[in-house]
Amino acid sequence: MSEVKKPAVKSVRKPAPKKPAKRKVGAPTIKTPALLEKICTGIAMGVSARAMCLELKISQRVLWNWLASDEEFMQQYARAKERCADVYAEEIIEIADDNRFDIRVKDDGSEVTDNEVVQRSRLRVDARKWYASKLAPKKYGDRVVNEHEGGDPDKPLLSKIEISFVPTQKPQS
């Protein structure tokens, strides 16, 4: 049997249908001075931006856009973050001093230290110390001290550089 050859047909690709323009999802959030004040007050009291957005029913993206576009609000937010570091420092003392749940009573009446509670308190303190050091590094960050070892600390450091010239020999021809 002989094969029948079909004529080559050009395939014509149809253009993809145009997608409708993206609409903003959700109700528009109106930026008011009272709303911005609530956000900054919450941040200053140690509430996360995420939690504040959930509480006030605004999107985090909206908050970040406001911070990017409003210089005055961004400065208020930065000051609130600095105050937040002070709140964390106070919480560290409260957590360290709170020993209400450190000891538990066993069934036989003996008292034992609840190591899980102690470890959790230590973790809470360490997390707050770390975050406070990031929010206000000058106030709560690690101190870097440069010390001069040996000699008089009032004298400037001296360094000696020697340069010597070594004659080279000319190649003999």
Residue 12, pLDDT above cutoff 70? no
Q: Residue 83's pLDDT is what?
A: 93
Per-residue pLDDT, 46 = 93
Residue 101, pLDDT score: 82
Q: Which residue has the higher pLDDT, 1 or 113?
A: 113
Quick one: average pLDDT of 60-69? 94
What is the reported pLDDT for 68? Answer: 95
Whole-prediction pTM = 0.61
Residue 73 has pLDDT above 80, yes or no: yes
Tokens of 97: 């001093």
Tens digit of each residue's pLDDT (9 = 90 or more) over 148-164: 566 666 776 667 777 77
pLDDT in tens, 38-51: 999 999 999 999 99
- Is residue 98 scored above 70 in pLDDT? yes
Indicate if the pLDDT at residue 111 is higher than 60: yes
> Does the pLDDT at position 165 exceed 90?
no
Cα separation values, 95 from 33, 118, 130, 134, 144, Å: 34, 10, 15, 20, 27
Domain ranges of the chain: 33-140
For the residues 70-77, what does the mean pLDDT come to? 95
Identify the weakest region by mean pLDDT among 27-36, 58-67, 98-107, 163-172. Answer: 163-172
DSSP 49-108: HHHHHHHHT--HHHHHHHHHH-HHHHHHHHHHHHHHHHHHHHHHHHHHH--TTSEEE-TT
CATH topology of domain 33-140: Arc Repressor Mutant, subunit A (1.10.10)
Average pLDDT over residues 79-107: 90
